[in-house]
Structure 1
Amino acid sequence: MGRRLPRAVYEKELLRLQVELVRLQEWVRTEGARLVVVFEGRDAAGKGGTIKRVAEHLNPRVARIAALPVPTERERTQWYFQRYVEHLPGAGEIALFDRSWYNRAGVEHVMGFCTAPEYRRFLAQCPVFERLLTDDGILLRKYWFSVSDAVQEERFRNRLRDPTRRWKLSPMDLQSITRWEAYSRAKDEMLAHTDVPYAPWYVVESDDKRSARVNMIAHLLSTVPYHEVRPSVLELPPRPAPTGYRRTPRERQTYVPDHAAGLVRQGPSGAGERTSRP
């Protein structure tokens, strides 16, 4: 693994890129564009953290995260792509897919959750599906987050120790260790069928999360022909003169206890141990 991007450099560049993402959002909104960003990769490859940084300062009514659960019994009987279609953006919207229809090419195939004919049908239909999206004007960007086996295992161990992130680790995730080569073959087969000129894959080296985040965001911005949209001029109106309103006495309302004041009295030694942000 290469040298880790220093935190100060990372935070400065991340903020600059997030400002640009807001400008991109406003361009999407005013131009009525439709942007789909697919985040795929192995478990613990850093997809979730990157999505969080992408969406951190965006309007959730414009940029939505689609993280679909296990399909229902009814959804299993539908055309495979059907449940993803309803999460595609309308005019002026951005859809961020935290995993996507490519589940069939990865976990479903490796774990035996789909049949061999269903898998082959997916590989044949996916490029056609994405051609339909791009032909209709949707801006489709697909990112594969690549992580080494050693770093993945280290991140799994960190999740086991961290109570705030333990929920991210499931028995299914642990299978990615014992089936590392099977997932590698599935990824190679997926790219061979779906890395097409109108919807190419972009691989993000993600052993260093900080580098992966700024690299991915910078690339995304470079591929969309957005421009800055001048915001409407807003001015705060003058506050009107009081008309006699009196606030309800505090004792008539139930307030949240002042937990923060207790922390101040305890001082630094009374605060619990905190996990540093990567």
Structure 2
Amino acid sequence: MFQNSALEPQDFMQRMADDLMDSYDEELEQEIDDRYLDENGERPLLDNEARRNYFKNLFRLQGELVKLQDWVQQSRQKVVILFEGRDAAGKGGVIKRITQRLNPRVARVAALPAPNDRERTQWYFQRYVSHLPAAGEIVLFDRSWYNRAGVEHVMGFCTDDEYEEFFRSVPEFEKMLVRSGIRLIKYWFSITDEEQHLRFLGRIHDPLKQWKLSPMDLQSRVRWEEYTKAKEVMLERTHIPEAPWWVVPADDKKKARLNCISHLLSQMPYAEVQHPEVVLPERVRHPDYIRQPVPQSMIVPQTY
């Protein structure tokens, strides 16, 4: 189990326990909000200072994301955010935290599967174009057209000519997007060899996470150096002024999430949108209305 790991068994088990606790935190994040504050303003469900600080900053940043969402809608902005990185780098985790409290009609995620036979004959960017935002929308790509520079190239799913054509085309494609009024932000989540190794072991031994592992993920371990070279070429050839790359150190998942969200907010000239006060209207009652009982056979059993 500890092969190729520089950690001692005790340290390894602690890292695995920390990763498990992070999974629990994901569930807590879904449930805990300001309603759980006690009279001292503390969240009693959080049992140590580091986790309290993490949640405190996460909730604050998510509040700013809601303001960003309102500004995008009100000013009819079009925003595209790309998330790239090695398998298990934490892209899905930060995407979840960004969208967690946003309106899915405004902020949506595009996570495209492998192209089908018809899509393989199309212009390479065609299937991505259909997911681009209209005015007032944010689209987060969980992997993107940069698949060609990474997995497709390393695994031999594209030819050398297609690979070179991608690098000729992508700067012009992204410049066109920016000229059309799209705000394009590109993030690369960077983790070390050892950290990916640990996260993969965590997925192997956690039944709730095994679905995240695919044969392609396992190959990424075998071809670590090839993926590193492909990443270096990609960053060098597609880091353009109109759409630069931003690298997120991601060995610490929580810090990576907070740092990425904070940086994302700094890239947008958003301002808080003032909304009219919401007044809940009185329910209209009619004396002749009789509520019909629901048949017991339709009620979900109260198991818990």
Same fold by TM-score, threshold 0.5 exceeded? yes
Instruction: Give the number of aligned pairs.
Output: 258
Report the Cα distance in structure 2 between the residues aligned to 1:90 and 1:250, rounded to whole angstroms. Answer: 43
Tell me the distance in 2 between the aligned counterparts of 1:75 and 1:185: 27
- For residue 59 of structure 1, the aligned residue among 79, 103, 112 is 103
Q: How far apart are 1:252 and its partner, in Å?
A: 4.9
2:152 paired with 1:96 = no
User: Are 2:205 and 1:151 aligned?
Assistant: no
The AA in structure 1 aligned to 2:246 is: Y
| Counterpart pick for 1:115 among 152, 155, 159 | 159
Letter in structure 1 aligned against 2:249: E
Matched, 1:179 2:209: no
Q: What aligned pairs does 1:213-252 form with structure 2 within 5 A after superposition? A: 213-252=257-296
Instruction: For 2:67 and 2:276, locate their aligned partners in 1 and report how far apart those are by CA, in whole Å.
Output: 14
| Higher RCO structure (Cα 8 Å, ≥6 apart) | 1
Task: Provide Cα deviations, 1:12-34, integer angstroms capped at 9, x if missing partner.
Answer: 10000001001001100011100
Deviation string for 1:147-171 (max 9, x for gaps)?
A: 1111101111111121221111011
Corresponding residue SS for 2:240: coil
Verify: 1:76 aligned to 2:120, yes or no: yes
Between the aligned partners of 1:147 and 1:14, the Cα distance in structure 2 is: 21
**Deviation at residue 6 of structure 1 after TM alignment:** 2.0
Name the amino acid aligned to 1:157: L
Give the aligned partner of residue 64 of structure 2.
20
Once superposed, what is the RMSD of the aligned Cα atoms? 1.5
Unaligned runs of 5+ in 2: 1-6, 8-17, 19-48
Aligned to 1:267: none
Q: Which amino acid aligns with 1:37?
A: I
Shift of 1:242: 4.1
Q: Distance in 1 between matches of 2:261 and 2:294?
A: 47
Using the TM superposition, give the Cα deviation of residue 62 of structure 1 relative to its aligned residue in structure 2, in angstroms.
0.6
**1:208: Cα distance to partner?**
0.4
Task: Provide the C-alpha distance between the structure 2 equivalents of 1:19 and 1:29, rounded to a whole number of angstroms.
Answer: 16
251-260 or 24-33, larger mean C-alpha shift: 251-260
| Percent of pairs with identical residues | 58
1:232 Cα deviation from its structure 2 partner: 2.7
- Taking structure 1 as the reference length, the TM-score comes to 0.90
Deviation track 1:211-244 (CA, whole Å, cap 9, x = no partner) reads 0000000000001111110123221111223423
1:39-58 equivalent positions in 2, closer than 5 A: 39-58=83-102
Residue in 1 aligned with 2:301? 257
- Residues 60-85 of structure 1, C-alpha deviation per residue, up to 9 Å, x if partnerless? 00111000011011110011001000
| Candidates 236, 240, 246, aligned match of 1:202 | 246
Deviations 1:225-268 (A, max 9, x none): 111101232211112234233332344551111121xxxxxxxx
1:272 is matched with which residue? none
Counterpart-to-counterpart distance in 2, 1:38 and 1:222: 16
The residue aligned with 1:165 is 209
| Correspondent of 2:130 among 64, 69, 86 | 86
Where 1:233 maps in the other structure, the secondary structure is coil
Residue in structure 2 matching 1:9, options 41, 48, 53: 53
> CA offsets, 1:177-231, max 9 Å, x none?
1100000000000011101111000000000000000000000000111111012
Letter in 1 for 2:218: L
SS in 2 for 1:215: helix
